């Protein structure tokens, strides 16, 4: 079955710098790739997603890049702020299977 | 904003006891899911459901049962709780209208002693 790997378990960047979180997946049939954010002590909420018919999607300070050949996708956060500190989970879905498979999570810390 | 409510918020159970975690959503979503969160493993899918009175096995179903008596309610049942089932459990819902986005509950912290 599908496996999703997040390569960085922790990431620390200075406030105002950019952060990049990388994920890889194994199922070439996966077509939907969302990202979720979990702030300390809270539940997860959706932040941004990308579908396999495009290779880039931007929403304000967040950009997702998708490389289908390499089976890799990444979340780029520019001009980081303290409120960006959280655990970020990537996920992948094969439409025919209809379920999301999550990565292990990356804890992003924004240093002042 | 979608609303998914889990109960209880936390629970301490004894090994071998029965535990039921409940989830209620008010969004008219067809799909509901139970995930387990462990440090280093992210979220893993236990059971899910596309329609009332039907459930499907996820990636780690052993030791868990699920029940979907209505569109709004989805329960996770541990018939014989074990130490290894100590974790945080998240319920989520979605439908095609929400573009597959999951709406999560606040989680249930389960400690099995």
Chain A positions in Cβ-Cβ contact with residue B32 (cut-off 8 Å): none
Task: Tell me if the bond preceding A5 is cis, omega within 30° of 0.
Answer: no
Look-up of token digits 């990444």: A74
CB B4 within 8 A of CB B104: yes
**Whether B42 and A42 lie within 8 Å, measured CB to CB:** no
Question: Which one of A100, A101, A107 would you mutate to disrupt binding with B, by most B Cβ within 10 Å of its Cβ?
Answer: A100
Contact B100 A34 (CB under 8 A): yes
Give residues with Cβ within 8 angstroms of A5, minimum separation 6: A23, A24, A25, A103, A104
Predicted pLDDT of residue B99: 56
pLDDT digits (tens, 9 = 90+) for A2-14: 889 998 999 999 9
Closest CA to A4 of A104, A96, A97: A104
Q: Would you write out chain B's pLDDT as a tens digit for each of its 113 residues?
A: 559 999 999 999 999 999 999 999 998 999 999 999 997 778 999 999 989 999 999 989 999 999 999 999 999 999 999 999 999 999 999 986 555 789 999 999 999 99
- Taking phi over 0 as left and psi of -120 to 50 as alpha, with beta for the rest, A47 belongs to alpha
| Binary contact (B41, A98; C-beta < 8 A) | no
Measured distance CA(A64)–CA(A42) in Å, rounded: 23
What the block records as the tokens of A72 is 């890799």
**Contact state of B50 with A100 under an 8 Å Cβ cutoff:** no
Query: What is the β-pairing status of strands B54-57 and B4-7?
Result: unpaired
CA distance to partner chain B, nearest, from residue A112 (Å): 26
Q: How far is CA B108 from its chain centroid?
A: 9
pLDDT of residue B96: 67
Residue A31 has pLDDT above 80, yes or no: yes
Quick: pLDDT tens for A66-110.
999 999 999 999 999 999 999 999 999 877 677 788 999 999 999
Tell me if the bond preceding B8 is cis, omega within 30° of 0: yes
pLDDT in tens, B53-72: 999 999 899 999 999 999 99
Look at residue A41 and tell me whether its pLDDT is greater than 70: yes
Interface contacts (A, B; CB < 8 Å):
49
pLDDT of A32 reads 92
């Amino acid at each position: 079955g599908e496996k999703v790997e997040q390569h960085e378990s922790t990431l620390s960047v200075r406030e105002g710098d950019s952060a990049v979180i990388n994920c890889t997946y194994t199922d070439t049939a996966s077509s939907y790739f969302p990202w979720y954010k979990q702030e300390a002590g809270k539940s997860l909420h959706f932040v941004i997603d990308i579908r396999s018919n495009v290779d880039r999607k931007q929403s304000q300070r967040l950009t997702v890049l998708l490389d289908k050949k390499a089976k890799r996708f990444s979340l780029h956060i520019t001009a980081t702020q303290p409120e960006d500190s959280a655990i970020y989970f990537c996920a992948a879905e094969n439409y025919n299977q209809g379920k999301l498979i999550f990565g292990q999570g990356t804890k992003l810390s924004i240093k002042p | 904003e979608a609303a998914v409510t889990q109960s209880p918020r936390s629970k301490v159970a004894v090994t071998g006891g029965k535990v039921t975690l409940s989830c209620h959503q008010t969004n008219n979503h067809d799909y509901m899911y139970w995930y387990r969160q462990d440090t280093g493993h992210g979220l893993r899918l236990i059971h899910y459901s596309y329609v009332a009175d039907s459930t499907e096995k996820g990636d780690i179903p052993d030791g868990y049962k699920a029940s979907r008596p209505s569109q709004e309610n989805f329960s996770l049942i541990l018939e014989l709780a074990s130490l290894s089932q100590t974790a945080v459990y998240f319920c989520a819902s979605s439908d095609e209208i929400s573009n597959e986005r999951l709406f999560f509950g606040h989680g249930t912290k389960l400690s099995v002693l």
